[in-house]
Structure formats: structure tokens, C-alpha cells
């Protein structure tokens, strides 16, 4: 947050949003319109919300005209806070937290200058902390993630390119409940390096690259690999148990392949770090990651119920990753 003369700026760097509050008091119509135009012209990326304080109908008309002339209307939201405390949306997008805050404004006590200074300083410290964390993470190469991706590609190329012999090996390594309960325990792990087809492989490897690089840098190589492997086994056991129950009810045998159980474990681990009481992430990063991760989880839960998707491997792997990373040993960030 920054304050200067008649202007205040509040940013949500993790969400790509900014709020500019412009005080109309003591300004002429021409200087007010010029100030609005400067703010809108300076907007280059993300969402921008502009609030004019006071000014009556004249200011409202100037805001509407400025919005029509703006070069990126789709990314703007323009409001006016009237002299009697009402918030009017003049044009563009809505900012729900702002509208909610104004509704509670009459019940809130005014902040003292010291409190305002402390809020500004806390925001500055959080931005510095988040920037330092991002720089440190970016310098750590996700070697284990790259190795896991390479292993999946190599296994796919070897088995799926070897005809009947490769198909036989693939069947011997896939997770089948009947075979697991007959003693072929390796299947609850080896299935995670097999994939049904090229699309299945590419989708899983893209997800592994997106999640794994960040989590490996945060946990360190050994703990990251432990979470990945344990989640793969957790997903394999869950699908073997589900297959056994299905067989007991007269259902056909089933076989599972794919790294998605382990990848769900990485999602569960990230969620545990974000929600845990031990602060493993800077506050700004944790807040933005929490919102994005919850959306990703909701989408993936819905996709898990589609035909051909083994939801038991997903949920089993995700639960293991979440529970394992909740422990003190795993929740500490890597040095």
C-alpha cells in the first residue's frame, strides 16, 4: 500500500489486482480528470479498480467519460464513494471485497496515523519477504522432478514401442487388485511410471512439472521424493483395495496405470503447507497459492469422477501427501 497527497494505491501482487483511491477534494474538474487519465494510462497489466472519493455528479460523469476513453476497459472497474458514504459502481468490473468493506465502514473505527503507518510497513515487509522467497526458489533446479519425468518418458517409449513383449511387461507392472493380493506388491508402486497413451503421459507430466518444481525447491530433494513415492504407493493401495471390494461384489478385475496418484499427493502436500499452522511460506505467497490451489482441487475432484479415471488412486495419493506433509518433519522449508 502507498499513500501520496490525494492518491492511495493498494496492490494484490499475487492476484494481479490493484486499487487506486483518488480524493476529489480541493481539485478542479480539469485537474481531477487529468489525474484519472494518468492513472488509467499507467495501467499496463492485470485488473485495475479506481475509486473517486466525493465530487458529486460532476466527478461521476468524468469517471464514466474516462472509462469510455480507456484503452483496456475489460480490465477496469470504476467506483465513486459519495459524500454520504455510498459506493456507486460507475462502470466496468466489480470488486467484491471493496463493496463488502464499504458496507461495514460505518461500524469500523477510524485508524490512527500510527496504525496506518504500521499497515503500510507490514505490507512492505511482506512484499520483500515474498520477493526474496521467490528468488531463492527460482535458483534451485528441480533435478528430481526432471528425473521422474524422464523416467516416465523412457518407460513409455520402451514398453509401448516394444510390441507384445512390452505390453506383457506393462501388464506385469500395472496395479491390479487381484495380483496385488496374491503377493505382487511391487505393482502398487510401479504402476505410477506407466501410462495408457501419449495424451495420458503428456497431461500427467505437465502437471508434475507445474507442481513438482515448486514443491521440490520448498521441501528439498529427499523429502520431496519421499512424498512423491509414498503418495504413489498410497494411491496404488487405495485402488487395489477398491478393486478387491469391487471383485467381491461380482465386478470385473481392473488395472490402473499413471502418475496421477503421486501427483495428487503433491497437491495434497502443497495444501498441507498452505493450511498448516507452521508458516512454511511467506504470507503473500501462501494467500495467493491457497486460492489457486483450492480452485485446482475442485476442478480435479470433479474430473476424477469421469469414466476411465481412477478416483481411488487420486484420493489415496492426495490423502497420503497431505497427511505426510502435515508432520513437523516435512512442514519445515528446505534450507
For each of the domains in the chain, give its residue range(s) and CATH number, in order of start. Answer: 2-108 (3.30.750), 142-331 (1.20.1540.10)
* 11 vs 236, more confident: 236
Residue 3 has pLDDT above 60, yes or no: no
- What percentage of residues in the chain have a pLDDT greater than 70? 93
Residue 111's pLDDT band (cuts 50, 70, 90)? confident
CA separation for the pair 87, 102 (Å, rounded): 7
Can you give 182-245 as a three-state secondary structure string?
A: CCCCCHHHHHHHCCCCHHHHHHHHHHHHHHHHHHHHHHCHHHHHHHHHHHHHHHHHHHHHHHHH
Q: Do residues 19 and 10 make contact, with C-beta atoms less than 8 angstroms apart?
A: yes
Average pLDDT of every residue of the chain? 84
Q: What are 264-313's pLDDT values in tens digits?
A: 999 999 988 888 766 667 777 777 777 777 777 788 787 777 777 888 99
Write out the H or E segment, with its range, that includes residue 54. Answer: none
What does the pLDDT read at residue 1?
A: 47
What does the pLDDT read at residue 106?
A: 67
* 199 vs 293, more confident: 199
What does the pLDDT read at residue 160?
A: 80
CA–chain centroid gap for 117, Å, is 31
* 330 vs 102, more confident: 102
Q: What is the mean pLDDT of residues 327-331?
A: 67
How far apart, in Å, are the Cα atoms of 54 and each of 24, 29, 57, 69, 128? Answer: 6, 12, 9, 22, 34
Q: What are 18-68's pLDDT values in tens digits?
A: 888 888 877 888 888 888 888 888 877 788 999 988 888 888 999 999 888
Amino acid at each position: 500500500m502507498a499513500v501520496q497527497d490525494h492518491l492511495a494505491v493498494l496492490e494484490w501482487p499475487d492476484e494481479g489486482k490493484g486499487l487506486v483511491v483518488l480524493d476529489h477534494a480541493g481539485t478542479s474538474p480539469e485537474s481531477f480528470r487529468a489525474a484519472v487519465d494518468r492513472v488509467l494510462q499507467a495501467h499496463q497489466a492485470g485488473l485495475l479498480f479506481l475509486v473517486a472519493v466525493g465530487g458529486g455528479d460532476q466527478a461521476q460523469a468524468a469517471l464514466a467519460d474516462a472509462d469510455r476513453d480507456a484503452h483496456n476497459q475489460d480490465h477496469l472497474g470504476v467506483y465513486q464513494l459519495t459524500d454520504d458514504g455510498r459506493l456507486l459502481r460507475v462502470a466496468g468490473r466489480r470488486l467484491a471485497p471493496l463493496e463488502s468493506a464499504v458496507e461495514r465502514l460505518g461500524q469500523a473505527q477510524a485508524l490512527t496515523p500510527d496504525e496506518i503507518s504500521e499497515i503500510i510497513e507490514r505490507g512492505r515487509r511482506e512484499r520483500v519477504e515474498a520477493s526474496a522467497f521467490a528468488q531463492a526458489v527460482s535458483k534451485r533446479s528441480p533435478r528430481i522432478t526432471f528425473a521422474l519425468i524422464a523416467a516416465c518418458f523412457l518407460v513409455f517409449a520402451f514398453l509401448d514401442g516394444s510390441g507384445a513383449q512390452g505390453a506383457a511387461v506393462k501388464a506385469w507392472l500395472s496395479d491390479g487388485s487381484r495380483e496385488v493380493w496374491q503377493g505382487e506388491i511391487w505393482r502398487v508402486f510401479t504402476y505410477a511410471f506407466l501410462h495408457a497413451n501419449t495424451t495420458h503421459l503428456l497431461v500427467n507430466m505437465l502437471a508434475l512439472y507445474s507442481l513438482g518444481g515448486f514443491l521440490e525447491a520448498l521441501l528439498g530433494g529427499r523429502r520431496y521424493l519421499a512424498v512423491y513415492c509414498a503418495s504413489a504407493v498410497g494411491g496404488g493401495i487405495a485402488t487395489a483395495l477398491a478393486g478387491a471390494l469391487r471383485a467381491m461384489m461380482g465386478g470385473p478385475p481392473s488395472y490402473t496405470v499413471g502418475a496421477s496418484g503421486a501427483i495428487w499427493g503433491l497437491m495434497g502436500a502443497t495444501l498441507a503447507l498452505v493450511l498448516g499452522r507452521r508458516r512454511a511460506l511467506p504470507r503473500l505467497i501462501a494467500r495467493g497459492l491457497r486460492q489457486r490451489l483450492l480452485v485446482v482441487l475442485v476442478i480435479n475432484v470433479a474430473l476424477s469422477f469421469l469414466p476411465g479415471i481412477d478416483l481411488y488412486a487420486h484420493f489415496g495419493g492426495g490423502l497420503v501427501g497431505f497427511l505426510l506433509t502435515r508432520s513437523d518433519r516435512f512442514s519445515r522449508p528446505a534450507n
